Amino acid sequence: MMNCKEATRLMSQELEHKLSFGTRLGLRLHLLICRGCRATERHFAFLRTAARRIGSPQA
């Protein structure tokens, strides 16, 4: 089973490019049993939302 360090690496990479089916499956299995990584995945997505707003501020 994949560990959390590897899972966060893949979650970050998933924001850059599509992961292979096998890798995605492994990651999803890890997320199913790991609450800390599930939280991290949402945090990563939020960082993207927040950072993009700095670059194109809403009037």
Q: Which of 18, 20, 21, 35 binds other proteins (CB under 8 A)?
A: 35
Contacts of 27 (CB under 8 A, 6+ apart): 2, 7, 10, 11, 14, 19
Contact in structure between 40 and 8 (CB atoms under 8 Å): yes
39 binds other proteins (CB under 8 A): yes
Window 10-29: residues binding other proteins (CB under 8 A) = 12-13, 15-17
- Residues in contact with other proteins by CB under 8 A are 3-6, 8-9, 12-13, 15-17, 34-37, 39-40, 42-44, 46-57, 59
